[in-house]
Structure 1
Amino acid sequence: MSNTFRMALLTSTLLAGPALAETTLTIESWRNDDLTIWQDTLIPAFEAKHPDIKVVFAPSAPAEYNAVLNSKLAAGSAGDLITCRPFDASLELYNQGNLADLTDLGAMANFSPVAKSAWQTDDGAATFCVPMASVIHGFIYNADAFAELGIEVPQTRDQFFAALDKIKEDGTYIPMAMGTNDQWEAATMAYQNIGPNYWKGEEGRLALIKGEQKLTDAGWVEPFAELARWKDYLGDGFEAQTYPDSQNLFTLGRAAIYPAGSWEISGFNTQAGFKMGAFAPPVGAEGDTCYISDHTDIAMGLNAKSPNLEAGKVFLDWVGSAEFATLYANALPGFFSLNSTPVAMEDPLAQEFVSWREKCQPTIRSTYQILSRGTPNLENETWNASANVIRGSETPEDAGKRLQEGLASWYEPQK
């Protein structure tokens, strides 16, 4: 190499200045089915704005996530960013000092108290994960069947049962596809779906936590009474019908209505050969305030021992932005942004679900915060009670009494 070339090379290097320091952030998650969405859509959008921060999405198998994450945290080898499940599992991570307090993060201003409730201390003083998405409950229906039978989309309970009666009388379709074999859907897609209109969403849920209402009160027993009426519309053999059985009955066009969580949207879009629509849980009478279960599902926190805390906060501020909300919600229709900025959905069925936020009051499943920490576990007991009531093996009143006695046996405010 000539001396002239060496000098030119040295001069150009000095003029270029020092190379920018590059930070790499690693994300821990159980959503391994999201890998391509992160790699192809989300991470490139962030890195385009922050070229000095690289992001690696490194998920674990869903069933192994909690154990793998806890092991990594104990060994000091966990990633910088921690995907957070709702309520107690993430609260325990925070209490152990594994998740940083994000209360003062700028993006937290973009979320409502309900949106943040799954990732806060019981007193609401500290928030430790940035909310990412929720799932919304309602009913998906076969729009072709409704048109064929001349059925209007029901808004009230009377209209709902009139529609079910008309479908049953015609006989072409099973009025509603849901079984009680697996129990959980009887609570999740039935009791927790229609219940908020009876217990007035957050008003009733928080009153139960405070001990100001009981599960024997009318607002908590009346949803069971409605479920008892469902028995006549679920078709022969519903007692032995599994969750996949119900999905298949609907997508094959054999049932007209499906009590749903919005997570079904992507699968139903690929499997159903007919036009679908959705309606919110019917209210008691026209003009009543409507409530929806807009259940907090997934968030992201910051490993308190990460060597890249500042870069991690930059990324989490972006996760809390309208840009992330739009990208994520449209990449995963049925998993809705919890950001206060409305997100226009490209999928029409997803847009119908999310539009209910504009007219209904949001709440979360009543059993998830605090009330299922003891034995008997209120969430699991509600599964059983809901299935029993639909089958007719337990009255609504007896179900409420049993659940109340179980909760009062260990939960001090209910004693």
Structure 2
Amino acid sequence: MTLKGALLITTLLGATSATAQDAELTIESWRNDDLTIWQDKIIPAFEAAHPGIKVKFTPSAPAEYNAVLNSKLDAGSAGDLITCRPFDASLALYEAGHLADLSDLEGMGSFSDVAKSGWSTDDGAHTFCVPMASVIHGFIYNKDAFAELGLEVPATVDEFFAVLDKIKEDGSYIPMAMGTNDQWEAATMGYNNIGPNYWKGEQGRLALIEGEQKLTDEPWVDPFRQLAKWSAYLGDGYEAQTYPDSQNIFTLGRAAIYPAGSWEISGFNAQADFEMGAFKPPVPNAGDACYISDHTDIGIGMNAATTHPEAAKTFLNWVASSEFASIFANELPGFFPLSNAEVELRDPLAQEMISWRDACASTIRSTYQILSRGTPNLENETWNASVAVIKGAEAPEAAAQRLQDGLASWYEPQK
């Protein structure tokens, strides 16, 4: 071989090596409020450990994301990495061939089946997005109000109502800040917050999907029976109270308890001038096992058409790491890592809520997987049923029967 030939081979090998290492990845997302966190924290940490790979975060407006993303995918211009909403929207992208199967990705070993449920096929055989974060449900409370009234955090449903009665009797605070005007809160922060303790989390949720339980069974009616008692503690005019109204009532110190999703933490920290605490949904009876709604919220997958699959997988494996989990969870308190990595959270309210995972079994909202694909839509029906029960316009048993009839009208396992 001539010197010229050897030099040519060396040059070609060097070019191939550089091409394999050097890549620029683009991330599609609807979380435009996170832009600075990605630019200032997440991407620099990844690039420091992987200097050959550059990453750009290019979000769309949340309301436009699905349409914009679908247009880009159809045109072949979408980014290499796709931020995934949970359940059917992302499942449809996978079934259309737009999201790659990531079941064999090394980092997937860091996640439980519950964590992966939002981005897996119905049979659980294939997972197409790496879980990034969940939101946890419970109750946020005004610590100053509790101290002033000599109240202890309730552990059981009876203790919960005893606390509400004491707050109401004192009269200094509205016992609980929640309205029914916007409907979804009654189901999301009401029914699906307290419900898992009755239907035993994943056990009941999966039994409903399989047709082994019905919405008229006691574990599904009992949460409505508890909600029927809430109206006495929600304050005057709760029927016309919007979601922002409820947030303001609590952060202004006018209410003692707020049925919550953990996404409230950042906003409440900025707005409230009192110390806050959180308690998990009280169990029906002392000694009962506890369950929390630890709901899959956001994941990230790989565009099946990416020209940089190895670099994309390198990034996705890093998303499954403790380094990513720690950055994401601390920069966005209330959005909790779904991996089994140990993460220490700086925000005390976020740390309190994530600690419930050590004591309670995690589940997701009962209506989100499979059961809201038909008409009537079980998720939306659960909104208005929860409101009707709280207002006293519908009995718990009647609301449950209506939901069951609606589900059975289109969902074969429930017929």
Q: Distance in 1 between matches of 2:406 and 2:191?
A: 18
- CA drift at 1:189: 0.2
Secondary structure class of the residue paired with 1:185: helix
- CA drift at 1:345: 0.6
Report what 2:75 is aligned to.
Answer: 75
1:20 maps to which of 18, 24, 36:
18
Report what 2:261 is aligned to.
Answer: 261
- CA drift at 1:20: 3.5
Report what 2:191 is aligned to.
Answer: 191
**Runs of 4+, deviation exceeding 4 Å:** none
Secondary structure class of the residue paired with 1:152: coil
Percentage identity across aligned positions?
76
- 5 Å-filtered alignment, 1:345-356, equals 345-356=345-356
Secondary structure class of the residue paired with 2:410: coil
Q: Distance in 2 between matches of 1:375 and 1:342?
A: 42
TM-score by length of 1: 0.95
Deviations 1:338-385 (A, max 9, x none): 011231110000000000000000000000000000000000000000
Deviations 1:146-178 (A, max 9, x none): 000000011111110000000000000000000
The one-letter code matched in structure 1 to 2:186 is A
Q: Distance in 2 between matches of 1:344 and 1:393?
A: 45
User: Where does the alignment leave 5 or more consecutive residues of structure 2 unmatched?
Assistant: 1-10
Q: Distance in 2 between matches of 1:20 and 1:305?
A: 21
Report what 1:118 is aligned to.
Answer: 118
Q: Distance in 2 between matches of 1:371 and 1:20?
A: 48
- CA drift at 1:310: 0.8
Q: Distance in 2 between matches of 1:413 and 1:186?
A: 27
Report what 1:55 is aligned to.
Answer: 55
- CA drift at 1:287: 1.5
The one-letter code matched in structure 2 to 1:246 is S
Q: Distance in 2 between matches of 1:264 and 1:360?
A: 21
Q: Distance in 2 between matches of 1:404 and 1:194?
A: 19
Secondary structure class of the residue paired with 1:138: strand
Secondary structure class of the residue paired with 1:24: strand
Q: Distance in 1 between matches of 2:342 and 2:225?
A: 35
Deviations 1:9-31 (A, max 9, x none): xxxxx9xx769342100000000
Q: Distance in 2 between matches of 1:269 and 1:117?
A: 31
Report what 1:382 is aligned to.
Answer: 382
2:200 matches 1:239:
no
Report what 2:329 is aligned to.
Answer: 329
2:308 matches 1:308:
yes
Q: Distance in 2 between matches of 1:338 and 1:77?
A: 30
Secondary structure class of the residue paired with 1:283: coil
The one-letter code matched in structure 2 to 1:20 is A
- CA drift at 1:220: 0.3
Deviations 1:188-209 (A, max 9, x none): 0000000000000000000000
Report what 1:212 is aligned to.
Answer: 212
TM-score by length of 2: 0.95
Q: Distance in 2 between matches of 1:273 and 1:215?
A: 42
Number of positions where the alignment pairs a residue of Structure 1 with one of Structure 2: 400
Report what 2:178 is aligned to.
Answer: 178
